[in-house]
């Protein structure tokens, strides 16, 4: 069984999805001693599903939220009472007295895939809410982080080829109250049927009609050449 197949099998067990529309795949890795695969393996498998991607290392000045990183992503608190801040190397979250640490990430362009590292979520539950750039439909992923302190995990999502997202809301119920996030990576999956830089999506059915017309024209041209 390949690493990717193992990842997909593990994801099918660990993931529950609420919402509709997207047919996403979630890759999860952990540096836990008992983990089936490492953070690096999970990230590599996720990146292999993409045609392009860019990584936000969050290197920059320390700052309270909201802040925009050098990569152009804007990170903001949601007003639920928890806080986040830029440390200069990553994002530090404090649950304070809220039920969960929660923040929004807005991307400078629409993306088809998103992944990031989580440090020290202590086995807490995590939610990712991804807002569809065209329909505003929100898809929710709910999953558990690995048990134990000082554990780094990777979570990555790839949407179906016609789905792009404009915003990500991250929530973690870290029992200890302190969690860090880093390396927010966004990308475009292979075989996408819309251009993320063009805000007008090409419906799949129209694309098929277009491809059919191209094939028909090629066939007629071939017949004309054969007769001449």
The minimum distance between CB 123 and Ca ion, in angstroms, equals 9
Those residues whose C-beta lies under 8 Å from the C-beta of residue 64, and which sit 6 or more positions away, are 85, 86
The minimum distance between CB 171 and Ca ion, in angstroms, equals 14
| Nearest position to Ca ion, beta carbon | 176
The minimum distance between CB 63 and Ca ion, in angstroms, equals 14
Q: Among residues 124 and 196, whose Cβ is nearest to Ca ion?
A: 124
The minimum distance between CB 41 and Ca ion, in angstroms, equals 20
Backbone angles phi and psi of 125, in degrees to 5:
-75, 150
Q: How many CB atoms lie within 10 A of CB 57?
A: 14
How many CA atoms lie less than 13 Å away from 95 in the CB half-sphere?
18
Q: How is 46-111 classified by DSSP, letter by letter?
A: HHHTEEEEEEE---S--EESSEE-TTS-EEEE-SSS-EEEE-SSSEEEE-TTSSSEEEEEEEEEEE
Residues that bind Ca ion (CB under 5 A): 57-58, 89-90, 120, 122, 174, 176, 178, 182
Chain centroid, CA 56 distance in Å: 13
The minimum distance between CB 100 and Ca ion, in angstroms, equals 12
Q: Among residues 49 and 101, whose Cβ is nearest to Ca ion?
A: 101
Name the token pair of 39.
């953070």
Name the token pair of 102.
């929660």
Q: Among residues 147 and 206, whose Cβ is nearest to Ca ion?
A: 147
Buried (b) or exposed (e) across 101-128, using 16+ Cβ within 10 A? Answer: bbbbbebeebbbbbbbbbbbbbbbebbb
Rg of the chain in Å (alpha carbons): 20
Q: Among residues 4 and 73, whose Cβ is nearest to Ca ion?
A: 73
Q: Among residues 28 and 121, whose Cβ is nearest to Ca ion?
A: 121
The minimum distance between CB 221 and Ca ion, in angstroms, equals 54
Q: Among residues 120 and 153, whose Cβ is nearest to Ca ion?
A: 120
């Amino acid at each position: 069984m390949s690493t990717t197949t193992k990842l997909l099998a593990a994801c099918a067990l660990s993931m529950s999805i609420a919402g509709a529309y997207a047919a996403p795949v979630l890759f999860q890795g952990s540096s836990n001693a008992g983990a089936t695969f490492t953070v690096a393996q999970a990230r590599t498998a996720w990146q292999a599903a993409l045609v392009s991607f860019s990584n936000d290392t969050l290197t920059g000045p320390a700052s309270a939220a909201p802040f925009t990183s050098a990569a152009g992503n804007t990170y903001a608190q949601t007003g639920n009472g928890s806080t986040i801040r830029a440390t200069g190397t990553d994002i530090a979250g404090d649950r304070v007295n809220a039920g969960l640490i929660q923040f929004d990430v807005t991307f400078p362009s629409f993306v088809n895939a998103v992944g990031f590292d989580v440090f020290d979520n202590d086995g807490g539950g995590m939610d990712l809410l991804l807002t569809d750039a065209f329909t505003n439909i929100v898809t929710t992923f709910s999953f558990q982080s690995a048990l134990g302190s000082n554990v780094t995990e990777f979570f990555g999502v790839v949407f179906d080829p016609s789905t792009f997202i404009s915003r990500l809301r991250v929530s973690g119920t870290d029992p200890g109250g302190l969690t860090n996030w880093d390396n927010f990576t966004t990308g475009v999956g292979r075989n996408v049927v819309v251009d993320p830089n063009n805000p007008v999506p090409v419906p799949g059915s129209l694309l098929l009609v277009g491809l059919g017309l191209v094939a028909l024209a090629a066939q007629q041209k071939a017949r004309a050449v054969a007769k001449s």
